[in-house]
Structure 1
């Protein structure tokens, strides 16, 4: 059902602390109840409609209120959740699915295949503006055989439905509730089948969740879970050290190492299935391939890793992570500032006559983002690329990209807990989808046929070739595998996930 090569399995399991999870029902909760855990978080969910936005950062919050059809273990292996089993047809034109019969939403109503069909088919058909269409727009019907059994049918071969059912925005919602409250209600008043209910909410400030003791699945030890929305990394650290919160995410690697020496706190730097990269546009200044490639050659990725992650962040040369399917293992794009100067000179630029580009970055959205951007500005300046740096939020990045107003380049992160190249390269460069920044018809024409290939090995081989070509074309500047940094009180134990989830059931008393 889910195919991940052995090298990836071992690498990610090691990154998660060496625990090779063998069965889906493995529990982290102990018998000790925890009254409240508070977490200093980077940003508020843009919406409470869990199907509306494909974005990594709200995922941990949304998973407290809603359930996904398929879950993931620490090592990214797919595991049963709402669905107990699934079977993709050999031609990838349908997938048979079976659901649990004991799931209830927080209003007490049972979840059935009607809710599954509504979420992954009817919402798209009725024109709801949701990112779920990116993965499931090819669903032509979901045949309901019984309240717990159905068949997803596709208008074209769909090789990755199981991966998408475990990915961002793939949460089952109640059909009856959605029809009762409408789009606006879904966006503002969440109601799901997950282990928590929302009991208090202040936009961009505070989220308070109460545990559902009637939850159908594994019951977390935490009775009340609070997310304090604190965009600034320094302020998140201060909240932790003052005792106002128990956990703080996306701290600097310097602060993580200092907390690790403390007798009051613990801290981790967790390599996750997320990449840090520089987006480039295909028009404007970057229409010139020489400038695009020069911008890539000028960046010393190993230095970025050493300076901002203590050397722990793996440098990458393709839009994926080494060991994941589709990553060209024997491919390298070297740091070569002299080559960058040579390319710029061919287009009439250099240190004495620099080309000017716009460059956007977030500040505090992930560990080191603003500092990494400033370091890149310095590297570019040395070869003859002058940069107008501006700070934006994650939400602004999506809005600017959707309206074609994103600057020439931007520092961003891309999460792909499935490891499948379709959700990396396929979604990054298909101009018919909302996430592409380098938009060119010839690239979209190369990518779209890959979505239809049912043969796994052939599909991965073609993504391998495409990734090489995209880098040589200067269509993206991959930098590093992202490092998730978390500091927390020594009163707790915490088990990280290699997709970056922070799960309540992974927090227990020390």
Structure 2
């Protein structure tokens, strides 16, 4: 039996200063319905006719193929096989060249990128400066796109020549390379989109990555095939299939019986069984994912009173949730900026403030001695989210808060997320693909409907605006420290814990989980 692999957080604490999304699947365009074996059992691991076929079981389907209109880490984890960035992060989260071979800062607001030549999109169109301009200006100018807030800092992309671009920002951007190495920055085929339109792209996405789109059967599987024209190292696999298996027990069973090569989001309780099974092993790593509660602060809601928000926080025994539901595979936190991110505040991580008696006293002071009622939204498609929400509901009831729990099917949950119409309380997971505090707070300022809550704090807005353009790393870090202290005190968000990621892996392949949770097929090798 192989020892359980654990990727230590220590590896990422020393990230350089230049380093710096949600759950659920929305309704998406109709996918291909061509004939296939929708059961997908042991055929996935077989190499029929000499073909090398990798199958990965994922709990959630991708949210379509508009890279600018989702904030979903599981979707990006699949997209990285189709789309390439200008720069990318390696396994240690160090930024490296991808579609750009070099870059330099011309002045405080101008970065020049020299592009790799000879790159082709999957339909044969050449990749040029025009595609960079189209991609980045679309996301930086359309405030209806979910990724707009992370790219609005880009004022213009100037074409210097066919393979050189200047990216002009609205001020100094210390985290620009981090922005360009994450979701929202995958290069799009401008000619194809201008001629065929987004509806066609959604049903037949085109990128420059090592794998090409074959077919998507929504809520069942996404199939990719080797890109023979890929400019990097030759792809490892002839075919890659991402099977959508929401049920934890089914995902684990498929791994144990040889139906899949890798199972994502394995329950902690199943790790020992996978490790002791002949032909499989388990692996675990910390992630960038923080499970949190977003809390309405709008006047007229019961949670507008900061004493009520504090009472909610103190009523929740985070460690009990970690121990009972996550089997210890998570860490309580009072911040979303966790170790390995620029701006992480150590004294807020690994801590909790559970105090139910104080929670009752706060409710009494707020005029709710006899209790209060509120509505609590959560996804019902994830067993862990469901169990976490149910346990939180029970904990709130212990201090006199009657939470009406609404477990939403993923499409309804995503509709509320996109419309920012959650009720007083919502359970929501967020990652940080930038590895920078900037992303953790990119959508909380007083932007009305564009914010994640209706929270308003002029000092937070001032600090965030200053930090975004501050090239002095020490000053910038202190600005983010102050923001985290204010958020911890005022609680428009109540951070619960940082989640670990558990994987089950067939012994026929080599695979090491990444801190950013990306599922690069070419980082999986056949033994």
Shift of 1:276: 1.3
Question: Residue 473 of structure 1 is aligned with which of 490, 493, 496?
Answer: 490
Moved more, 329-338 or 412-421: 329-338
1:339 aligns to 2:339 (yes or no): no
Shift of 1:333: 4.8
1:118 aligns to 2:143 (yes or no): no
1:234 aligns to 2:260 (yes or no): no
Kindly indicate whether the alpha-carbon contact (under 8 Å) linking 1:120 and 1:132 is maintained by their aligned counterparts in 2. Answer: no
Shift of 1:182: 1.1
Residues 1:311 and 1:10: Cα distance change in structure 2 (over 3 Å): closer
Moved more, 486-495 or 327-336: 327-336
Kindly indicate whether the alpha-carbon contact (under 8 Å) linking 2:291 and 2:495 is maintained by their aligned counterparts in 1. Answer: yes
Residues 1:13 and 1:123: Cα distance change in structure 2 (over 3 Å): closer
Query: 1:426-445 CA deviation, whole Å, 9 max, x = no partner?
Result: 33445368451243263545
Which residue does the alignment assign to 2:24? none
Kindly indicate whether the alpha-carbon contact (under 8 Å) linking 1:76 and 1:417 is maintained by their aligned counterparts in 2. Answer: no
1:288 aligns to 2:308 (yes or no): no
Residues 1:393 and 1:300: Cα distance change in structure 2 (over 3 Å): same
Which residue does the alignment assign to 1:78? 95
What is the rounded CA distance, in whole Å, between the counterparts of 1:324 and 1:342 in structure 2? Answer: 36
Kindly indicate whether the alpha-carbon contact (under 8 Å) linking 1:402 and 1:434 is maintained by their aligned counterparts in 2. Answer: no
3-state secondary structure, aligned to 1:64: coil
3-state secondary structure, aligned to 2:222: strand
Which residue does the alignment assign to 2:46? none
Residues 1:433 and 1:222: Cα distance change in structure 2 (over 3 Å): farther
Which residue does the alignment assign to 1:454? 471
What is the rounded CA distance, in whole Å, between the counterparts of 2:429 and 2:475 in structure 1? Answer: 28
Shift of 1:424: 0.5
Residues 1:355 and 1:188: Cα distance change in structure 2 (over 3 Å): same
What is the rounded CA distance, in whole Å, between the counterparts of 1:179 and 1:14 in structure 2? Answer: 41
What is the rounded CA distance, in whole Å, between the counterparts of 1:45 and 1:323 in structure 2? Answer: 26
What is the rounded CA distance, in whole Å, between the counterparts of 1:128 and 1:76 in structure 2? Answer: 29
Question: Residue 11 of structure 1 is aligned with which of 9, 12, 15?
Answer: 9
Shift of 1:422: 0.6
Which residue does the alignment assign to 1:247? 262
Question: Residue 439 of structure 2 is aligned with which of 423, 434, 445?
Answer: 423
- Which residues in structure 2 correspond to 1:377-396 (within 5 Å)? 377-396=393-412
What is the rounded CA distance, in whole Å, between the counterparts of 1:334 and 1:441 in structure 2? Answer: 23
Which residue does the alignment assign to 1:156? 171
Question: Residue 107 of structure 1 is aligned with which of 107, 112, 123?
Answer: 123
What is the rounded CA distance, in whole Å, between the counterparts of 2:107 and 2:447 in structure 1? Answer: 28
Shift of 1:49: 2.1
Question: Residue 206 of structure 1 is aligned with which of 215, 221, 234?
Answer: 221
TM-score (norm 2): 0.85
Question: Residue 230 of structure 2 is aligned with which of 215, 234, 246?
Answer: 215
3-state secondary structure, aligned to 2:346: coil
3-state secondary structure, aligned to 1:45: coil
1:35 aligns to 2:33 (yes or no): no
Moved more, 100-109 or 154-163: 154-163
3-state secondary structure, aligned to 1:368: helix
Kindly indicate whether the alpha-carbon contact (under 8 Å) linking 1:496 and 1:506 is maintained by their aligned counterparts in 2. Answer: no
Which residue does the alignment assign to 1:485? 502
Query: 1:302-335 CA deviation, whole Å, 9 max, x = no partner?
Result: 2222223332322111122135322322345522
Question: Residue 189 of structure 1 is aligned with which of 182, 204, 207?
Answer: 204
TM-score (norm 1): 0.88
1:375 aligns to 2:391 (yes or no): yes
3-state secondary structure, aligned to 1:486: strand
Shift of 1:407: 1.9
Query: 1:315-356 CA deviation, whole Å, 9 max, x = no partner?
Result: 111122135322322345522222211111212335xx3222
Structure 2 gaps of 5+ residues are: 1-6, 17-49
1:439 aligns to 2:458 (yes or no): no
- Which residues in structure 2 correspond to 1:174-185 (within 5 Å)? 174-185=189-200
Kindly indicate whether the alpha-carbon contact (under 8 Å) linking 1:90 and 1:454 is maintained by their aligned counterparts in 2. Answer: no
Residues 1:240 and 1:74: Cα distance change in structure 2 (over 3 Å): same
Query: 1:110-142 CA deviation, whole Å, 9 max, x = no partner?
Result: 2111111111125655x5953342222232222
3-state secondary structure, aligned to 1:274: strand
Which residue does the alignment assign to 2:335? 318
